[in-house]
Amino acid sequence: MIVSDELHPRLCSVFTQALTGAGQVLTAMVGRPIVLGDPEIGVRLYTEVPFLCGGPEVPVVAIYLAIGGEIKGHVVFFFDQIGAGYLLEAMLGAAADYPYDSLARSALEEVGNVVGSSVLNCLSDATGMAVMPSPPLLTMDMAGAILGTIAADLAADSDQVLVIETCIAPAGTHQVQGYLLVLPDRASWDRIARELARRN
C-alpha cells in the first residue's frame, strides 16, 4: 500500500469530511457536542498496530465492519478501554462498568458504525465506487490479541495498513484517541488511488 505525496492531501480531505460528518451524527444521537479532530493519516506495518494504543498488553475495544460492493475489504475502529469508558459516559450519560452490558456494547458498536460508515460513504462519494458496509461487530481484549491478529489476517495481500488517527472530544468528559484501520484489498486500493487522482 502506497500513499503518494499527491494522494495524501486528497485522502486528508475525504477523511476530514468523513470525521466531521460522524461527529455531527453522534452529536445528534446523544444530544451533546461530540467532535472528531482532523485526521492524521499514515501507513503502518501491521506488526506496529498493537503499539498504537500503548502496547500489546493494553486492553482495547475494537469495532469491525466488512466492506462489500465495488470496494472489498475491512474497516476496524479501536481505542483503549479507558477511552471506551469516557465514550460510554458521553453516550449514555453515566459511567458503565466493565465487562459491559448489552446496552453499553450496543453504544460502542454504534460509535464504530457511525465513524466507519461515514468514512466509507465519503470514500464512495469521492471515487464513485459503491460500498456496502456490514453491521458492526465489537470485540474486547488485549491490543496484541485483537489488533495483531486482525491486521495480519485482514491485510492478507500486504504487510501494511492505512491508519487514520483522530481525537474524539465529547463535551463534558475526556478526549479519546481513536484509530481507524482501512484495509481495502489490493485491487480496490489501486482503483481508489486511480479514481481519487482522476477526480482531483
Q: What is the pLDDT of residue 47?
A: 83
Q: What is the pLDDT of residue 192?
A: 94
CA angle 43, 46, 52 (to 5 degrees): 75
User: What is the mean pLDDT of the segment spanning 170-195?
Assistant: 90
pLDDT tens for each residue of 51-94: 999 899 999 999 999 999 999 988 999 999 999 999 999 889 88
Asked whether the predicted pLDDT for residue 148 surpasses 70, the reply is no
Mean pLDDT of the chain: 90
The strand pairing partners of 74, in sequence order, are 66, 183
User: What is the mean pLDDT of the segment spanning 98-124?
Assistant: 95
CA–CA distance, 142 with 134 (Å, rounded to integer): 24
Q: What is the pLDDT of residue 174?
A: 86
CA–CA distance, 197 with 43 (Å, rounded to integer): 18
Read off the pLDDT band of 34 (50, 70, 90). Answer: very high
- pTM equals 0.93
Asked whether the predicted pLDDT for residue 158 surpasses 80, the reply is no
CA–CA distance, 165 with 50 (Å, rounded to integer): 14
CA distances from 176 to 28, 81, 84, 117, 158 (A): 19, 10, 8, 19, 29
Q: Find out whether 104 and 96 touch, Cβ atoms under 8 Å.
A: yes
Asked whether the predicted pLDDT for residue 124 surpasses 80, the reply is yes
DSSP state of 134: P
Q: Is 79 helix (H, G, I), strand (E, B) or coil?
A: strand
Tell which wins on pLDDT, 157 or 26.
26
Q: What is the pLDDT of residue 138?
A: 96
